[in-house]
Amino acid sequence: MAVSKRIVLHFPKRMVDRPIVCRLVKDYDLEFNILKASITPEKEGLMILELSGEQGEYDKGIRYLTKSGVEIQSLSQDVLRNEERCTHCGACITICPTGAFELDPITRWVNFHDEKCLACGLCIKACPPRAMEVHF
Amino acid sequence: MAKTIAEINEKIKQGKAVVVTAEEIIGIAKEKGIKKAAQEVDVVTTGTFGPMCSSGAYLNIGHSKPRIKLGGGRAYLNDVPAYTGLAAADIFIGSNALPDDDPRNKIHPGEFNYGGGHVIEELVAGKDIRLVATAYGTDCYPRKRLETWINIKDLNEVVLFNIRNAYQNYNVAANTSDRTIYTYMGVLRADLGNINFCSAGQLSPLLNDPYYKTIGIGTKIFLGGGIGFVAWHGTQHNPNVPRTENGVPTRGAGALCVIGDLKQMSPKWLVGTSMLGYGCTITVGIGVPIPILSEEILRYTTVTDAEIFSAIVDYSDAYPNLKPDILGEVSYAQLKSGKVTLQGREVPTASLSSYPRAVEIANTLKEWILSGKLLLTEPVAPLPGVESGITFKPLNERPIEE
Ligand code: SF4
Ligand code: SF4
């Protein structure tokens, strides 16, 4: 059976330069599509992949990633903004690796574009009034 | 054209006063000129909404039966310790206080999810708060333990008393080290990854009255969504810093100590705040009306973000080690553009203080004055100005020999 899933990979600092993802192709015959990649303030790698292949190989690929020290998170969680708590300060703007927050230059309201959000979770604790919430 | 506060109040009562915000006055003065604008406008309103750490509240909880003497004992509000060095039924909760069992920075950066600022927010929101207190017991105050829910509406006095708020200008924060640092100025990424600032700039109260010509002790203000007063100058009030030609300080300078009845305030304007890796605090809304008594006072209120400068300070070295070095000076107009060029690089900027909410405060204050809800007050005494000679002293450490 073929599967195709979207997952978030967190690479620890020491692994950022290693060609981990390429081995998924060579060893497990999986196909991947990088939807987004960036480096967090902690210098950890962050990558959103669409990964597809045969279920058995897919599972082995995931096991390989986990064993190598990559943390895997499925994209099923949702990050939402509690509009009542958000003060529109703007502290999140330089935190978000994908630019999901955008400042309106005239009103200075902070707009949250949730379609750009990859649920990396960085803004959750960096938002001073804790207006960003993870929902599962 | 000199006006008096009494004359302006008379106009407010007759519904004839002209009140504009510190943002609106910029365009008005440009269009009409300083002279005409000063004749026509009676009051300029300001506002600021940002984390202000030196904030707290005192509560008189009323006497229990039998009586307990909290003074000299211990008291906790929702597990957050309150100060008990006062009389039997008075306690003080500071915005930075943390539960004894909060892990703090044991796993760095600590999260600091709940502290004194959050207690104040919940108190003002009318939520029940858990008070747990212990005392040593005396003949007149025999009780040794108290555990009860309390609610703001049942308490005697609940007073917000912030000993340093509304800083006149503030450091702009950056990080030149090779690791992310977690500060009261927010998360600062390594290698000048971002720059954070915290001021309402052209709307900020003391930046519109740089020499404290109208704002003084006794000035009635917008505080936490209700009415409060300037009680004193803020701690670390430092009028003697470099200033631009228009009198605007280019460093943190003056500050206000403010007071007001918490019972008439709102959680919208007193928000419990968590600074990752640093601690808990509270975001406070403050707005001060400036009576336009002269052309000079009006001219000060026309200051724009492009004319207000501050120093970029390295929070990985200069700040913690109390070194005077700065990385450069920058205007709020540049900061608000979203990026600043520093050491030949474009660095993205972010704010910790909310400009849209500062605008809302200035507009609310304007409505209050127009509707006669708030009349202006004559200061009882001025804040110390440049002539006071006050400076901001570092601690003179004198080692204690055993
Ligand atoms: S940091 Fe939090 S409160 Fe500030 S604008 Fe972003 S989501 Fe809103
Ligand atoms: S979780 Fe927050 S920081 Fe991460 S992508 Fe979404 S909005 Fe940006």
Cis preceding-peptide flag for B249 (omega within 30 of 0): no
| A88 with B50: Cβ contact below 8 A | no
At residue B121 the predicted structure's pLDDT band, cuts being 50, 70 and 90, is very high
| A90 with B50: Cβ contact below 8 A | no
Catalytic residue among B140, B198, B257, B280: B140
Q: Which of A125, A132, A134 to mutate to test the interface with B (most CBs of B within 10 A)?
A: A125
| B271 with A129: Cβ contact below 8 A | yes
Residue in A94, A105, A109 closest to B348 by CB? A94
Instruction: State the span(s) of chain A assigned CATH 3.30.70.260.
Output: 2-77
What pLDDT score does B49 carry? 98
Closest CA to B57 of B278, B284, B274, B218: B284
pLDDT tens column, A21-36: 888 888 898 988 887 7
**What residues contact B82, with CB distance under 8 A and at least 6 apart?**
B59, B75, B76, B91, B92, B93, B97
Q: For residue B153, give Cα distances in angstroms to B76, B89, B344, B387.
A: 19, 16, 56, 44
Q: What's the whole-model pTM score? A: 0.89
pLDDT tens column, B28-61: 999 999 999 999 999 999 999 999 999 999 999 9
What pLDDT score does B216 carry? 98
At residue A49 the predicted structure's pLDDT band, cuts being 50, 70 and 90, is confident
Rounded Cα distance, A60 and B240, in Å: 68
Closest CA to B124 of B90, B95, B86, B166: B95
Provide the percentage of residues in chain B whose pLDDT is more than 90.
99
What pLDDT score does A118 carry? 82
Judged by average pLDDT, the poorest of A73-82, B43-52, B294-303, B352-361 is: A73-82
What pLDDT score does A130 carry? 97
Three-state SS annotation for A66-129: HHHCCEEEECCCEEEECCCCCCCCCCCCCCCCCCCEEECCCCCCEEECHHHCCCCCHHHHHCCC
Pick the CATH number of A2-77 from 3.90.1150.10, 2.60.40.1840, 3.30.70.260, 3.40.50.11710: 3.30.70.260
pLDDT > 70? residue B1: no
Rounded Cα distance, A35 and A98, in Å: 11
Establish whether B140 is a catalytic residue.
Answer: yes
Q: Ligand 2 center to residue A113 CA distance, Å?
A: 10
Pick the CATH number of A82-134 from 3.40.50.150, 3.30.70.20, 3.40.50.1260, 2.40.30.70: 3.30.70.20
pLDDT > 70? residue B16: yes
Cβ(B192)–Cβ(B342) below 8 Å: yes
Binding site membership of A62 for ligand 1 (Cβ less than 6 Å): no
Atom of ligand 2 nearest to the CA of A119: 1
Tokens 């707009």 correspond to A111
B99-111 average pLDDT score: 97
Ligand in nearest proximity to the CA of A93: 1
